Structure 1
Amino acid sequence: MDKTKICITTLEYPPDVGGVGESVHRIAKMLIDSGYEVHVAVFRSKQRLVTDGSRRRASCSTTLQDGVFVHRIKSAVRDNLTEIQDFFSDVYFQLKCLHQKYKYDLFHAFFMNETGYVTTLLAKENDVPVINSVRGSDLHKHIFNPKNHAQIAWILENSAWVTFVSRDLQKRASVIAPSVKLKSSAFWNSIAPINFEQLPTPSLVSELPGIIIGSSGRFRDKKGIEFLLDACAELSNELDLTLLLVGDFIEREKAYWQQQIQQSGIGDRLRITGITSRQEALAYLPHLDIFVIPSLHDGCPNTLLEAMLASRAIIGTRVDAIGEILEDGVDGLLINPGSTEELITSLRHLATKPDLRQKLGAAAKTKALQQLAPSVEHQNWIDVYQRTLTTSASVLFEKLSLV
């Protein structure tokens, strides 16, 4: 018997760096373990920009990575500027060719703004069910571009099922497209256990005096780092502390962040590692006294789950999955986003109470191992796939019965 064939479309996939790519890779492996044949089509509009003056025809290169068929699609470059509609037209054609060759039973798009529309259009034209997965910025940021609103609403309305990584995102989608209430589910990302003792000690650790307050990731507008800079700068007048940012600011915002750092007055209390490998970033976590994730909005960030596994005392904001996963005073402290005052109070509280830090960290690790285990996410995804495929088969049978 032939395996059910799934085609996942995504903006990134390993070795690409990014949380969406990690999630797709994790889910693809889960599906393979459950007996599905999995294909991943990777494309991103940034790939249409070529700065060296070269030209190319549209292409799709296929490799087999750990049992997953990975199709990397590139649009043609015919002149100095490839229009966005030309990019999507090329991508659509390449996806259509893949479907003609493999005859997929289900499409699944991660992130609505780029992958969702072209995937849903192809799926609907071929009477194939499509799942769309909302990750965060697609509904928290891109929805505010008037050009995107109608497209996003259409995607939500025409999805067979929609998944969300937080109930906040699910609620917003239901406002935009009320039918989502009847065909959606919200569940968190998962994380596999990590043996931090096997990771080497990063060299920078020896240069971090006092209470070490840290955050990690690719820092950009939504991360709320301004408030962390201000809070640590003020507290440095009364506490011996170091603020360690594991990662770096995204390139297009660097001038803004340099200004924010200077205006905060934090001075030499700040250390920034720059871009690191995931292994090196993880290796810093056990050396932090307090982990802060001050996001303004953030889906379900992997960095939160990693800090929980590392038994860190965490301060997070009441947004998206951060505010859903952490229970204030039990396995972390929660504050309102954008509040420097609340952040200062929480940091001061934890900095002076090592026993509380240990208690919160231990509880966070227990929750990560129990409620954020891969087996939990695996079952959630299998339920979604089985429900979508079963419902689609029933609808198709009804259509055939009416002919």
Structure 2
Amino acid sequence: MRVMIWNSARGGMRSVVDAYRRDGFIERENVRLIAAYCDGGFLRRQIVLLAALVEFAWLLATRRIELVHIHAAMRGSFWRKHLFASLARTFRVPVILHLHGSEMRQFYEAQRPQVQHLIRRNLEKSDRVLVLSESWRSFIERIAPAARITVVPNYVTVPARPAADGRDGAEVLFLGLVGPRKGTFDLIEAFAGVAARHPAARLTVGGNGEVEKAATLVGERGLGAQVSLAGWVDGEGKTRLLERSSIYALPSYNEGLPMSVLEAMAAELAVVTTRVGGIPELITDGVDGLLLEPGDKQGLEASLDLLLGDGERRRAIAAAGRRRVETTYSDEVVLPLLHRIYAEVAR
């Protein structure tokens, strides 16, 4: 049996594991899922963590685990998953540590030397460390030279080609945690600059977080008729938004390799986003997306202006983005790689 330790709370990590389940990887690889974190209050989260540790320890003690695949982000997530990794090593079970999140460098550099040593030790004692991009590989190699690192990007299942001709070209979409890190407020400010020039344009903001602050900003900018705050959306609701939208905007300040950008490109939306994390490895500026520096609200406004006003350019970028995902970031490319890693580590 293989065990996967994951985070069932809303967000990119859950989207990754949901994709594994949907595409049959969990069943094919005989993986048992154990959630170490969830949405909800403090008490509920502690109960989930304790139950996960007890279940995991029992499986280890009864010698049922061949390897453990641990999904970890930063801060609390990293330390929670460190508990599982340490338990697995006590029983000599191979550990695959799969790093997500967007602020690994900031997380590491903010720690005291003793804590940095513990982080490095966790990385170097793992049988394999999976990272989302080459930029992450370079950073981990620098701080933990003995770590055994493989780049495994996030992936999406590319849907059947959408009826792009049915899109009106005026729908802009944002999906993610509403707040400064994802650039939500920058996007609303930039959209305010183009709204008058494109009166048919509409922006949908899907996500939880600082929704009330976003609503206040929408009201202050007089955008109530053109901006809607949809709250958290997933499943069929997210699919419908992707099918009707033409432009995807994610002006983040920090990212790993965002699932939402991959999903938007696969659904043939023209993407405008920022040069952070693994995004520059995914998108070539002006070819299969538009790239900006974080915080460049003028550039964001100009990019939205271009995509809203030039349908031919928008469709060309969207089509190129879909092709990019099909060739490098699809289930047909990434899941065989993960299968090979499982086979190598389990030997």
Shorter-normalised TM range? 0.7 to 0.9
Q: Is residue 246–residue 270 contact of structure 2 (8 Å, CA) maintained in 1?
A: yes
Number of the residue aligned with 1:8: 4
Question: CA 1:154–1:221 in 2, change beyond 3 Å: closer, same or farther?
Answer: farther
Summarize the alignment of residues 177-196 of structure 1 with structure 2, pairs less than 5 Å apart: 177-180=144-147, 183-195=148-160
Q: Is residue 169–residue 245 contact of structure 2 (8 Å, CA) maintained in 1?
A: no
Matched letter for residue 192 of structure 1: T
Could you tell me which of 230, 238, 247 is aligned with 1:290?
Answer: 247
Q: Is residue 5–residue 33 contact of structure 2 (8 Å, CA) maintained in 1?
A: yes
The alignment of Structure 1 onto Structure 2 pairs a total of residues equal to 337
Q: For residue 279 of structure 1, report the CA deviation from its aligned partner.
A: 1.1
Number of the residue aligned with 2:173: 214
Q: Deviations over 1:203-228 (max 9, x none)?
A: xx9xxx98322212342442111211
Summarize the alignment of residues 348-359 of structure 1 with structure 2, pairs less than 5 Å apart: 348-359=305-316
Summarize the alignment of residues 4-403 of structure 1 with structure 2, pairs less than 5 Å apart: 5-12=1-8, 17-27=10-20, 29-30=24-25, 32-33=27-28, 36-44=29-37, 49-50=42-43, 75=47, 91-112=52-73, 113-137=78-102, 139=104, 142-143=107-108, 146=111, 149-180=116-147, 183-195=148-160, 211-250=170-209, 253-262=210-219, 264=221, 266-390=223-347
Task: State which drifts further: 111-120 or 375-384.
Answer: 111-120
Q: For residue 341 of structure 1, report the CA deviation from its aligned partner.
A: 1.5
Q: Is residue 99–residue 130 contact of structure 2 (8 Å, CA) maintained in 1?
A: yes
Q: Is residue 266–residue 325 contact of structure 2 (8 Å, CA) maintained in 1?
A: yes
Q: For residue 162 of structure 1, report the CA deviation from its aligned partner.
A: 0.4
Q: Deviations over 1:135-157 (max 9, x none)?
A: 12462664466376454333212
Q: Is residue 109–residue 130 contact of structure 1 (8 Å, CA) maintained in 2?
A: yes
Q: Is residue 231–residue 340 contact of structure 1 (8 Å, CA) maintained in 2?
A: yes
Matched letter for residue 285 of structure 1: L
Task: Tell me the distance in 2 between the aligned counterparts of 1:259 and 1:273.
Answer: 15
Structure 1 portions without partners, runs of 5+? 52-72, 77-86, 391-403
Length-normalised TM-score, structure 2: 0.85
Task: Tell me the distance in 2 between the aligned counterparts of 1:363 and 1:210.
Answer: 17
Tell me the secondary structure at the aligned position of residue 43 of structure 1: strand
Question: CA 1:279–1:102 in 2, change beyond 3 Å: closer, same or farther?
Answer: farther
Task: Tell me the distance in 2 between the aligned counterparts of 1:311 and 1:46.
Answer: 31
Task: Tell me the distance in 1 between the aligned counterparts of 2:319 and 2:41.
Answer: 47
Matched letter for residue 132 of structure 2: V
Task: Tell me the distance in 2 between the aligned counterparts of 1:48 and 1:120.
Answer: 25
Q: For residue 265 of structure 1, report the CA deviation from its aligned partner.
A: 5.3
Task: Tell me the distance in 1 between the aligned counterparts of 2:42 and 2:338.
Answer: 35
Question: CA 1:348–1:22 in 2, change beyond 3 Å: closer, same or farther?
Answer: closer
**Identity across aligned pairs (percent)?**
22
Task: Tell me the distance in 2 between the aligned counterparts of 1:352 and 1:243.
Answer: 13
Q: Deviations over 1:375-399 (max 9, x none)?
A: 2111221222223233xxxxxxxxx
Q: Deviations over 1:12-56 (max 9, x none)?
A: 1xxx643322322434632542xx3211111227667338xxxxx
Task: Tell me the distance in 1 between the aligned counterparts of 2:105 and 2:240.
Answer: 31
Tell me the secondary structure at the aligned position of residue 9 of structure 1: strand
Task: State which drifts further: 147-156 or 227-236.
Answer: 147-156
Tell me the secondary structure at the aligned position of residue 178 of structure 1: coil
Task: Tell me the distance in 2 between the aligned counterparts of 1:372 and 1:210.
Answer: 25
Matched letter for residue 44 of structure 1: Y
Number of the residue aligned with 1:56: none
Matched letter for residue 222 of structure 1: R
Q: Is residue 136–residue 169 contact of structure 1 (8 Å, CA) maintained in 2?
A: no
Tell me the secondary structure at the aligned position of residue 192 of structure 1: coil
Task: Tell me the distance in 1 between the aligned counterparts of 2:319 and 2:43.
Answer: 49
Tell me the secondary structure at the aligned position of residue 319 of structure 1: coil
Task: State which drifts further: 105-114 or 16-25.
Answer: 16-25
Matched letter for residue 97 of structure 2: N
Question: CA 1:94–1:284 in 2, change beyond 3 Å: closer, same or farther?
Answer: closer
Structure 2 portions without partners, runs of 5+? none
- Bigger Rg, which one: 1
- Say which structure, 1 or 2, has more relative contact order (CA 8 Å, 6+ apart): 2
Question: CA 1:21–1:101 in 2, change beyond 3 Å: closer, same or farther?
Answer: farther
Matched letter for residue 11 of structure 1: N
Length-normalised TM-score, structure 1: 0.74
Task: Tell me the distance in 1 between the aligned counterparts of 2:169 and 2:200.
Answer: 5
